[in-house]
Structure 1
């Protein structure tokens, strides 16, 4: 039991998977769409995520094989192909998310001034991204307790900094400066907060990683239930606090260079003490903690998820031993290698957009599966219905935004999605395809 994760570690892993992407990668994009109503977009996305979290918890408590989305599909629908496609789609989403975090980690390291942007004419951003991935691959190979302890430290530091940033920012904006606070109430009747909520949905995917780690969690069903219900509201509160402060103190930075907008806001509020450079440095350090803990949490949990796919014959066993204690080393190394390749060479815009859509669709589908269990006395049908309609309603909004604002990324996402689905069908329906090809070949030979 000493090697199992408790509630503190589980909340840390869930927050680590959410805060890192939400604040530093998504905030600027959301603010460009809905400016003062950015906080409202985070609330909308958080409500849908909380309803999806309820659905996951209910399905997890009702099922015999507790393993997350794939197990839920297998138990409720009995369709191995569909279950496998859900699993592979999520795995691609996790790799894309980790690549995004690693890319952001390198950008913040360079912006912080810790390392130069290039050496001997060679850009160092890809090198730093790959190095960060290698660091957390090594940490995960040390075991669950090392990973959980590290996540406690990383999350405690970044949450403390962000809460202090938000609290002091409100004090500064409302009492120490002449800033006219805006909350975007006039945009509530427009579609922009809904589109922004759809884009920000990827910021709320970290909690469901816990469902793939259950063999490493003490009293897993109850611990995960509590961790989900704690982590999502905490993440929403932090997003709202930071969004209100940043939108009001650094509106120009959000439009011109959104990745460092929080640093500009911190510089503004500490300028009254002559410490503007310190504010930027502290927020930059927090960004490194945040993106690092997001890589750590996602790698840890996605490796457990991949192990379950291997054990269920939904992923080739060349990727690891499904019966190994903890996570198979080959699985961690394979995920790390794929993430490193994406972060160094891939189109992160397309990969990240695909990951967002993957989580929207899967969360909506799991909420629908929970809604199908509404006759069970332990299932409240309202919350799964909100989760299904909300998440699946976000998908067309995401596509619409990409098509109108980033047509090249839109088509790249479409091509990537078609490719992934084709590969999945070729793998899971390989026997049926071989049978049909054999029949076709026999028919051709008989005619000859």
Structure 2
């Protein structure tokens, strides 16, 4: 994919600049992407999506998948050309200029930090209702410790989590499609909210797809990045789409659109409605495991972008240190862990999800704009334009309570950039 790209602007850093070690192959990269996507989203997003679009949430899933594909295509092309930690922070800087790269990094760090808190709170909600915040903080501390001791250990933990969750989701699909109390009456593709409801559902479901960026943000730790990243991102996205489609059809079949819209724990309710109540505790445990997997990969990605921004002087240089033994950006990881723990102790789950969605869509808008500059060929540019327009549309249909804080925080980032730039020689 990178053969047609413009090859100017190689990003070699001076020998004295802290560098990370390349350890991850295609399989581990796919596992990290799956761990980010097949997480808490599939256990929580189906209910709100059904509330927005009814049975037409399947159409919303297709819309979200198309936009996710465009974003993934743009990210893969850029990551193959710029295999460094930081993802779209690096791509925006190199293709559009330092300001846009900075804004992408700012949006990613603040948005995904909120996502980390959301995943931690989901762990708490499933593991110990009524003590969500306490459990969330403990989860953040444990995951930060795992990441601190090396990315290979993180990849191994993610692999175990992904296979466990996929096995449970496969069981959910089978019992919800074949159970004694199931029919096929809940699969009508109807929506009482029209196009608006479908786009709202797509925005909610896109939140669950967005984890493939984690592969790109680990670009500096991937072996043969041009080959590995360009393969890992579409493979992870394709597997996730198939899993989500199967689970959505199965849960709609077991519950119907109305019951699904009212459910806060739809997969657990679906297996019970299908006549397999004994499987419900297993589903709840899997939800906790999946959320931990997402939290692990999210903190991994946020810390790498923080490391890259610190290395370039946009964040304190204290955060660009690499551990001499474990070869990880340990100070960035610890700083992210502290901030996420504070949010998990104080924030509201729905609020952080909405805010995160807005910031992540802005991040991918810059990714697509950056990819548009890579080639003059019609198809790559069309994909980038479709991805950018899709990000704008989905962001516009988010609740106002998510859009306003998002605009304020992005504006604050722009002001900070302007102040720092004015003080430089």
Question: Which of residues 39, 48, 55 is equivalent to 2:58?
Answer: 39
Is the contact made by 1:15 and 1:207 (CA closer than 8 Å) also made in structure 2?
yes
Is the contact made by 1:39 and 1:243 (CA closer than 8 Å) also made in structure 2?
yes
Secondary structure of 2:223 counterpart: coil
Q: State which drifts further: 424-433 or 304-313.
A: 424-433
Over 3 Å counting, the alpha-carbon distance change for 1:142 and 1:154 in structure 2 is same
Is the counterpart of residue 144 in structure 1 residue 151 in structure 2? yes
CA drift of 1:3 comes to 7.5
Residue 352 of structure 2: aligned partner: 351
Q: Distance in 2 between matches of 1:380 and 1:2?
A: 31
Over 3 Å counting, the alpha-carbon distance change for 1:187 and 1:386 in structure 2 is farther
Q: State which drifts further: 425-434 or 32-41.
A: 425-434
Is the contact made by 1:37 and 1:187 (CA closer than 8 Å) also made in structure 2?
no
Secondary structure of 1:380 counterpart: helix
Question: Which of residues 65, 83, 102 is equivalent to 2:101?
Answer: 83
Secondary structure of 1:59 counterpart: helix
Q: Distance in 2 between matches of 1:347 and 1:199?
A: 17
Is the counterpart of residue 281 in structure 1 residue 281 in structure 2? yes
Q: Distance in 2 between matches of 1:128 and 1:338?
A: 16
Q: Distance in 2 between matches of 1:2 and 1:29?
A: 41
Q: Distance in 1 between matches of 2:83 and 2:377?
A: 15
CA drift of 1:49 comes to 0.7
Residues 254-273 of structure 1: matches in 2 within 5 Å?
254-256=260-262, 258-269=263-274, 271=275
Secondary structure of 2:134 counterpart: helix
Largest Rg, 1 or 2: 1
Is the contact made by 2:52 and 2:197 (CA closer than 8 Å) also made in structure 1?
yes
Is the contact made by 2:299 and 2:336 (CA closer than 8 Å) also made in structure 1?
yes
CA drift of 1:190 comes to 3.2
Per-residue CA deviations over 1:368-395 (Å, capped at 9, x if unaligned) read 2222333159x62222222122222212
Is the contact made by 2:177 and 2:253 (CA closer than 8 Å) also made in structure 1?
no
CA drift of 1:189 comes to 5.9
5+ unaligned residues in a row in structure 2: which ranges? Answer: 1-19
CA drift of 1:430 comes to 2.9
Q: Distance in 2 between matches of 1:64 and 1:353?
A: 30
Residue 445 of structure 1: aligned partner: none
CA drift of 1:179 comes to 4.7
Residue 164 of structure 1: aligned partner: 171
Residue 203 of structure 2: aligned partner: 198
Over 3 Å counting, the alpha-carbon distance change for 1:55 and 1:187 in structure 2 is farther
Is the counterpart of residue 307 in structure 1 residue 307 in structure 2? yes
Is the contact made by 2:79 and 2:219 (CA closer than 8 Å) also made in structure 1?
no
Over 3 Å counting, the alpha-carbon distance change for 1:3 and 1:62 in structure 2 is closer
Q: Distance in 2 between matches of 1:64 and 1:153?
A: 26
Compute the RMSD of aligned alpha carbons. Answer: 2.6
Per-residue CA deviations over 1:177-236 (Å, capped at 9, x if unaligned) read 445242315679633212210222211111011112122222222111111111112111
- Count of residue pairs the alignment pairs up: 404
5+ unaligned residues in a row in structure 1: which ranges? Answer: 112-116, 118-123, 404-408, 436-448
Residue 393 of structure 2: aligned partner: 393
Residue 115 of structure 2: aligned partner: 97
Secondary structure of 2:314 counterpart: coil
Residue 341 of structure 1: aligned partner: 342
TM-score by length of 1: 0.83
CA drift of 1:427 comes to 4.4
Over 3 Å counting, the alpha-carbon distance change for 1:170 and 1:110 in structure 2 is same
Is the contact made by 2:85 and 2:305 (CA closer than 8 Å) also made in structure 1?
no
Residues 392-411 of structure 1: matches in 2 within 5 Å?
392-398=392-398, 402-403=399-400, 409-410=401-402
TM-score by length of 2: 0.87
